[in-house]
Amino acid sequence: MPPKKPLPKAPKLEAPIHEHKKHAEEVLAIEEYKIKPPNHPVIETDQANP
Amino acid sequence: MPAEIRNQIGGGCDGTSLNENDRAVIHLYAVDMAIRYNIPWASFQSLIISGRGAVVSIRYSVIAPTKYDASPGFTGNHAIYVNERRASDGAYLVYDPLADGRRAGIPKGPQWWPASLLKAAAYAYPGTNSGCVHASFTRDTEV
């Protein structure tokens, strides 16, 4: 199995907006972030007190 | 949950997932969210700054002891919408669907949550990797 590509490092918060937009595109393209974890629990809001 | 959304995901009274909610908004509003799991917090912040909003899975037990609690007694799994980050103090504008002001003491409408609170609540969602969050992102609305 080939080694995993290193995950992109997020820019500093104060970085120019174009750096954040570039990082966003890189992150959203990463396949492993699309994998739903096993036993992922549901959102239970309907059980909240009225 | 509004009946319009419940109808889209097959009825019933159980909780919902990010996928089911995404399916509902695609059908109702033609809005396709990008669902991502275990995104590092630094990248989550960057995506919000980049011009995207996000639905974030949180554990409400973290919110319960704070002034942002919009359902006293509820400590389970929940989801909120994060619209933007305020640069001056790093707070996030959060739309909590429970925050409808239905009685005295319940917040109403969007609230600026401290980043530390949002992060702690997202980290506490069961099954999330350390330092990561589950979220579904809108498209970049600031293109």
CATH number at residue B43: 3.90.70
| Mean pLDDT for the stretch of residues A17-26 | 97
HSE at residue B137, side-chain half, CA atoms within 13 A, is 27
- CB-CB under 8 Å, B50 with A45: no
Q: Calculate the CA B118 to chain-centre distance.
A: 9
Residue appearing with tokens 């097959």: B10
pTM (2 d.p.): 0.89
Q: Rg of chain B over CA atoms, in angstroms?
A: 15
Task: Give a yes or no: residue B143 inside a domain.
Answer: no
Specify the pLDDT at position B119. 98
- Percent of chain B past pLDDT 90, that is, above it, reads 75
Of B16, B39, B45, the CB nearest to A42: B16
Q: Decide if the complex's ipTM is over 0.85.
A: yes
| Mean pLDDT for the stretch of residues B4-12 | 66
What confidence category does residue B74 fall into, taking pLDDT thresholds of 50, 70 and 90? very high
Specify the pLDDT at position A43. 74
Task: Give a yes or no: residue B142 inside a domain.
Answer: no
Shared domain for B14 and B44, answered yes or no, is: no
Shared domain for B49 and B117, answered yes or no, is: yes
Shared domain for B27 and B67, answered yes or no, is: no
Domain span at residue B10 reads: 1-32
Shared domain for B41 and B13, answered yes or no, is: no
All residues of chain B having their beta carbon less than 8 Å from the beta carbon of residue A29 are none
HSE at residue A47, side-chain half, CA atoms within 13 A, is 12
Give the number of domains in chain B: 2
| Mean pLDDT for the stretch of residues B39-68 | 97
On the question of pLDDT at B126 being above 90, the answer is: yes
